[in-house]
Amino acid sequence: MFGRIAHRYDLANRVLSGGIDIYWRFCLVRSVRGVQPGQVLDLATGSGDVAFALGKALPPGSRVLGMDFCTPMLEEAEAKRASQTNLRAAVEFSQGDALALPLADASFDAVTIAFGLRNMADRARCLSEIRRVLKPGGTLFVLEFSRPWPLVRPLYDFHMRHTAPALAGLLTGDRGAYDYLGESIRSFPGRDGLAGEIRQAGFSAVSASAMTMGIVALHTGRR
């Protein structure tokens, strides 16, 4: 499904979010920069927006590995590389399954996953794999859709059920992929529920910060 929409994925994200997805990623990258990681894994990297943003924000000598299961998405990420003229950290991309990461134990200072945990067939297994590849004291950052404030929830639900799939269908030619988007968000746990799953996976100091009227939340946890 993601392979089918890869060529228009970025455009659809900008239009459907009104461009505020750029701010969400900025908040994520700012939080990651605060822990001063040397080695960062960006899981479900997609077209590479988070990986490149990290590459611009982290100091020289840092390394960012963007990993995704979907080859067409990684091809889109590589196609962007020529336009990334102000990278400071090294940014690489590799194919890999987040449920069985082809990476050594305790090899990263931080792991980020933006709008990808929701798509995992087994979230508990994914979180376990993330914890395995984090160094002791390393930090997990999860940027994900959440439960909006009650006041805006009816309008948001209408948008996700009707407006967003119709508009995305025009932009990408694949309305079904964005019907799935709304369904996956509705079935995803809220901030407290996801924080509980992260704790259950063995992380400590778990926190969740709501953004944009609760539509999105940034979760963190320490290995």
Element (H, E) at 32: helix 21-34
Q: Give the separation between CA 42 and CA 57, rounded to whole angstroms.
A: 14
The pLDDT of residue 171 is: 72
Which architecture does CATH list for 19-149+188-222? 3-Layer(aba) Sandwich (3.40)
For residue 71, which amino acid is it?
Answer: T
State how far Cα 37 lies from the chain centre: 18
Is the pTM higher than 0.85? The answer reads yes
* Domain spans in the chain, listed from the N-terminal domain onward: 19-149+188-222
- What confidence score (pLDDT) does residue 131 get? 98
Looking at residue 138, what is its pLDDT?
Answer: 98
pLDDT mean by block of 10 residues, the chain; 223 residues: 69 78 95 97 96 97 96 93 92 97 98 95 97 98 94 87 78 70 82 97 97 96 98
What Rg, from alpha-carbon coordinates, does the chain have?
A: 17
Check: CB of residue 208 under 8 Å from CB of residue 191.
yes
d(CA 195, CA 190): 8
pLDDT confidence of residue 185? 79
CA distance 186 to 221: 24
Which pLDDT score, from 0 to 100, does residue 156 have? 85
Closest CA to 155 of 215, 216, 217, 218: 215
Confidence (pLDDT) at 71: 93
